[in-house]
């Protein structure tokens, strides 16, 4: 009888997937307040939950990857600032309670992959050079897994980790995903503020209340963003990228203009928010994991989903203020020529 019991237990264990680091949906949904807001290379259930809560509260940690990196820490700090709460070496119960109260529902939910998710078309490989993109019919995702990860604001590594043995290219397959779809409320954004030094974008209402926060890649030393105040002049979804050889981007040898078709892996992602200075805009990116970690061509780069959310909550005429230094006084936009950058 004992031998039969042992055999039954071993059989059950063999059918039960082993999740590295305890990153199974139940562990994430049941996770308690993280003990310390410190970074780690190892994903944890409590940080996955923290990032999802921040995302749903409009304080984006960027790509949800289960690690409390720089972007997640900046988002947590901004949330504490907006709610007049302290954030020192530990996350306080008051801060955690305030965050969990911003939205309802579990952090992780089941999702059944649809025919549309796997239909494509998908790129065999995303070219590394812009010039090699111009002949493509669309800058699509490279796989259903990439598309699903972006749809739920997750890194592909985290999507894999909480779905061991799952096939992302099979319609009807049920997978575990971050519960972020339809979780955010509309925001009355009256002003956008971009901090060049901190690589952040903040959205405020008419009274000056901080409504939303996004990590951003803001220009570069080679092609800095402008100073002062610009305005939103247009919002384009699924933009076409137009390269002007006068930009002289590093690594681009073409001396003739060319265009790159729309798609989430377009150089400006799936959303372009045009600003009132030629060649400047706020846009998405084909590489969400590098937001605020690599230079842009002078524009303001967000994850595709953050750019889409921001575009849905602003309108033409919304002022966009650029801060050269944290806490500086807001000045009018400069009249001098501006550095060139990417545009649609």
Secondary structure E strands in 101-254: 108-112, 174-178, 191-195, 200-204, 210-215, 217-218, 228-237, 241-243
Q: What's the rounded mean pLDDT across residues 196-214? A: 96
Domain boundary among 122, 157, 185: 185
pLDDT one-digit tens code per residue, 216-271: 999 765 567 888 999 999 999 999 998 877 766 767 777 788 899 999 999 999 99
Residues 135 and 228 both lie in one domain: no
Residues 69 and 217 both lie in one domain: no
Residues 85 and 125 both lie in one domain: yes
Q: Is residue 334 part of a domain?
A: no
Q: Is residue 30 part of a domain?
A: yes
List residues bridging with 325 in a β-sheet: none
How far apart are alpha carbons 131 and 254 in whole angstroms? Answer: 7
List residues bridging with 235 in a β-sheet: 273
Residues 87 and 26 both lie in one domain: yes
Q: What is the CATH number of the domain that holds 259?
A: 2.40.440.10
Q: Is residue 311 part of a domain?
A: yes
Residues 24 and 162 both lie in one domain: yes
Domain boundary among 131, 162, 185: 185
pLDDT over 70 (residue 200): yes
Residues 155 and 199 both lie in one domain: no
Q: Is residue 223 part of a domain?
A: yes
Higher pLDDT, 138 or 330: 138
What pLDDT does 36 receive? 65
Residues 198 and 264 both lie in one domain: yes
Residues 154 and 52 both lie in one domain: yes
Record the pTM: 0.86
Residues 162 and 208 both lie in one domain: no
Q: Is residue 249 part of a domain?
A: yes
- Domain extent at residue 125: 16-185
Q: Give helix 70-82 / helix 93-100 axis angle, nearest 10°.
A: 90
Q: What are 16's two structure tokens?
A: 């039960």
Residues 128 and 35 both lie in one domain: yes
Specify the number of domains making up the chain. 2
Q: Check: CB of residue 236 under 8 Å from CB of residue 311.
A: no
pLDDT one-digit tens code per residue, 6-64: 333 333 333 333 334 468 999 999 999 987 655 567 899 999 999 999 999 999 999 99
What pLDDT does 243 receive? 80
Residues 205 and 305 both lie in one domain: yes
pLDDT one-digit tens code per residue, 124-136: 999 988 888 999 9
Q: Is residue 331 part of a domain?
A: no
Q: Is residue 165 part of a domain?
A: yes
DSSP line for 271-313:
EEEEESSTT-EEE--S-GGGTTTS--SSSEE--HHHHHHHHTT
Q: Check: CB of residue 71 under 8 Å from CB of residue 81.
A: no
Domain boundary among 185, 209, 226: 185
Q: Is residue 203 part of a domain?
A: yes
Residues 202 and 78 both lie in one domain: no
């Amino acid at each position: 009888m004992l031998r039969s019991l042992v055999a039954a237990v071993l059989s059950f264990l063999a059918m039960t997937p082993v999740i590295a680091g305890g990153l199974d949906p139940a562990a994430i949904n049941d996770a308690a307040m993280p003990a310390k807001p410190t970074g780690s290379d190892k994903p944890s259930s409590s940080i996955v939950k923290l990032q999802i809560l921040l995302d749903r509260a409009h304080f984006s940690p960027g790509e949800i990857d289960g690690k409390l990196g720089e972007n997640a820490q900046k988002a947590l700090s901004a949330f504490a600032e907006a709610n007049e709460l302290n954030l020192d070496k530990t996350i306080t119960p008051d801060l955690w309670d305030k965050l969990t109260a911003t939205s309802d529902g579990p952090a992780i939910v089941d999702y059944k992959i649809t025919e549309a998710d796997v239909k494509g078309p998908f790129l065999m490989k995303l070219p590394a050079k812009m010039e090699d993109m111009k002949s493509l019919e669309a800058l699509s995702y490279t796989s259903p897994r990439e598309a699903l990860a972006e749809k739920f604001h997750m890194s592909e590594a985290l999507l894999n980790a909480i779905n061991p043995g799952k096939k992302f290219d099979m319609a009807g397959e049920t997978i575990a995903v971050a519960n972020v779809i339809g979780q955010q409320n509309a925001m009355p954004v009256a002003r956008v503020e971009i901090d060049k030094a901190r690589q952040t974008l903040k959205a405020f209402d008419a009274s000056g209340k901080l409504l939303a926060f996004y990590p951003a890649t803001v220009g570069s030393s080679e092609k800095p963003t402008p100073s002062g105040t610009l305005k939103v002049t247009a919002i384009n979804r699924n933009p076409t990228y137009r390269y002007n050889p006068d930009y002289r981007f590093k690594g681009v040898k073409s001396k003739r203009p060319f265009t790159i078709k729309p798609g989430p892996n377009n150089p400006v992602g799936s959303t372009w928010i045009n600003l009132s200075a030629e060649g400047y805009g706020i846009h998405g990116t084909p590489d969400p994991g590098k937001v605020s970690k690599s230079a842009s061509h002078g524009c303001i780069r967000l994850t595709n989903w953050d750019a889409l959310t921001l575009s849905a909550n602003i309108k033409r005429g919304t002022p966009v203020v650029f801060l050269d230094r944290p806490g500086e006084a807001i000045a009018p936009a400069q009249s001098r020529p501006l550095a060139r950058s990417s545009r649609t």
